[in-house]
Amino acid sequence: MENISEKKGFYAYRTTLRAMSDGVSLFTKNAGMLLKATWPLLLITSLLGGWFAVGVTKICVDLLVGTLLEWSDLGLWMALPGLLTLCFMVLFFALVYTLLSQYVENGFIPTQKRKKFQLCPKITKLPRLLLGGCWCIFVSVLYVLLAYVLYTVSVWSLIATIPLYIVLMFWLANQLVGYVLIADTLVGSIRHSLGITLKGLGSFIAVSLMLALVLGAIGVVCMIPAISTETIYMKAQFSLAEGDNGDLPSYFTPVYFLACTLSTFLTLLLNAVQTSCWSLVYGAVDTRIKLKKAEKKN
């Protein structure tokens, strides 16, 4: 919300619905400026995502039809594009958190500019995102180990891991917001986000359901180009394996790649909106908790 007269602070929200609504408008109202400033990073990430999607489908089809694969094929079509896509996805989310942190500081997203030959404006949240992500991975590994231990004791004991998983999922998402976006210490964000998660669990469950219904439906529409071309490709390869001489036209592979690239691009935008909504809801729940504490003291 670049217009300073319309700015609204990160901690000015009270209701979950209003925080979600402004989480969407925060990026959509600045869409032109943000796309102009970040399009090289978005384009490269989308192209890599398209390459990875095409490669995974190709390898899976080759395995199903019994084609002999070499290590070079796995490296070219899965390992290399997968690693590059992961790296650029991390850069993309670090940029999203950088933009959100500017909103936390100013109450609006300032005009974004990038110098010539830059992929995007300066990213300041990459180190915190990497450290926060490593912590989330570490906690997730501990959870898997705990589930395995309980499984060895009794299969029924895994029931206890279900509510733990729900709390853990929301806690890690909130802890990442608290550490990366609010610039809290890692230990401080762990304690603070756990309290926010437990006290505002109902709000986060409601947000998850609404985001899954709305953004999930939009995400399915965004994936239609990739799903359609992928289905055509798989059916054609299975037909060839069964002895059918018919083959796809030569221009189909570029079309398939562009369709996967388009779906990746739209998915990146949806993920940015989802991160914005979740972050603003985190601020709204935190504000409500602080207000209740102040009322009790008074």
In this prediction, residue 66 carries a pLDDT of: 66
Please tell me the pTM assigned to this model. 0.87
**% the chain with pLDDT above 90:** 27
Return phi, psi of residue 111, to 5°: -60, 130
User: Residues 20-68: pLDDT tens digits?
Assistant: 888 888 888 888 888 888 889 999 999 999 889 888 888 887 777 666 6
User: Residues 66-125: pLDDT tens digits?
Assistant: 666 677 777 777 888 889 999 999 999 999 999 999 898 888 888 888 887 788 888 999
Residue 236: pLDDT above 60? yes
Q: d(Cα 22, Cα 8) in Å, to the nearest integer?
A: 9
Residue 273 · residue 58 · CB < 8 Å: no
Residue 41 · residue 114 · CB < 8 Å: no
Please name which of 226, 252, 248 lies closest in space to residue 239, comparing C-alpha atoms.
248
User: Residues 167-198: pLDDT tens digits?
Assistant: 899 999 999 998 998 877 888 888 888 889 98
149 C-beta neighbours (distance < 10 Å), count: 10
For residue 165 the two structure tokens come to: 């998983």
Contacts of 224 by beta carbon, 8 Å cutoff, 6+ apart: 263
For residue 163 the two structure tokens come to: 């509510």
For residue 22 the two structure tokens come to: 């402004």
Residue 287 · residue 224 · CB < 8 Å: no
Longest dimension (CA), the chain: 81
Among all chains, which residue has been given the structure tokens 């180990």? 145
